Amino acid sequence: MAEIIDGKAISTQIKDELKTKVSELKASGKSIGLAVILVGNDPASAVYVRNKKKACEYIGIESLSYELPEETTEDELLKLIDELNNKNNVNGILVQLPLPKHINEERVLDAISPLKDVDGFHPVNVGALSIGRKGFVSCTPAGVIELLKRSGIEIEGKECVVIGRSNIVGKPMAQLLLRENGTVTIAHSRTKNLKEVCRRADILVVAIGKPKFIDSEYIKEGAVVIDVGIHRQEDNKLCGDVDYDDVFPHVSYITPVPGGVGPMTIAMLMNNCVKSISLQ
Ligand code: NAP
């Protein structure tokens, strides 16, 4: 019988641990501040930002909010980031993506001090991960590792297949599994025989961005399946990149959507905010 990995419960556990840490830090005179920058009126981004602020409040992290109009220029945004880089009460800086089209995302993300880059997107932090140095790690893949570890799933020596090679999920995911001594394969849209490749996996992490793409034909009996995907269906319900009902009878562990990987992303962002104190 497959076990469902409860991302909601695990993320709450992490947030409670962080809450205790933050109150200990406060008792020793240290506080943590996260600057959250939102440019424009994208409704989905506004929801994400609101949830991040709520998590900060729960844990005891001070969130400083910068809600800028759609017309904000790249120079204005870069100037704000420069100010925040130099502010002592700001430990983390988060720019909510996507940015309006007239702003170069890469230039903006590169302007954030690597020591305050709690999203783990700066090339310095990406490089640090790949050579095993300290730094911030992208939140969603870091959350997947926590889900595996806290569910008692061993990674060392396991065949791990990651489908997807994006900079924010697939690539850091593969690096993290490698760091945990997994034997890692990265599959993508040019991979030949995807089913065969996936059927080798003891641990299959799916980050394709296509609803219910992975069915039981891609699964080795008893595999662990982690579904990073998130999609709103026509009936307004959420689903992942994995066809959950079809795959379920064949797996040992699986993450549901919603309630699997999703809640972990914010928990790991909070973890990065707390970690910023020791990195700075
Ligand atoms: P992305 O940038 O669109 O990357 C998708 C990856 O999947 C690409 O590397 C692509 O390969 C690969 N791919 C696409 N079609 C494929 C196919 N038919 N066979 C094999 N590989 C294929 O997406 P992302 O940002 O990594 O996100 C992936 C999913 O996770 C999305 O559903 C997203 O909404 C979700 N997500 C969830 C969270 C969370 O907090 N839960 C966070 C981030 C993302 P190529 O590189 O060759 O094009």
- Asked: is 139-262 a CATH 3.30.70.360 domain? The reply is no
CA of 113 to the centre of ligand 1 (A): 27
Residue 98: predicted pLDDT: 95
Q: Would 29-119 and 139-262 be classified into the same CATH topology? A: yes
Specify whether 52 is catalytic. Answer: yes
Indicate yes or no: pTM above 0.85: yes
Average confidence (pLDDT) over 41-58: 95
Which residues does ligand 1 sit against, CB inside 6 Å? 140, 163-166, 168-170, 187-191, 194, 207-210, 228-230, 241, 261-262, 265
Specify whether 171 is catalytic. Answer: no
68 has pLDDT over 90: yes
Tell me the CATH number for domain 29-119.
Answer: 3.40.50.10860
Q: Work out the pLDDT band at 277, boundaries 50, 70, 90.
A: very high
Ligand 1 pocket mutation pick from 166, 173, 175 by most atoms within 8 angstroms of CB? 166
Give CA–CA dist 41/154, Å, rounded.
Answer: 43
Q: Are 163 and 205 in contact (CB under 8 A)?
A: yes
Q: Where are the domains of the chain?
A: 29-119, 139-262
Q: Are 253 and 155 in contact (CB under 8 A)?
A: no
Residue 222: predicted pLDDT: 98
Average confidence (pLDDT) over 131-141: 97
The residues with which 227 forms a beta bridge, in sequence order, are 206
CA distances from residue 215 to 190, 210, 261 in whole angstroms, order as listed: 19, 12, 18
Q: Work out the pLDDT band at 232, boundaries 50, 70, 90.
A: very high
Specify whether 75 is catalytic. Answer: no
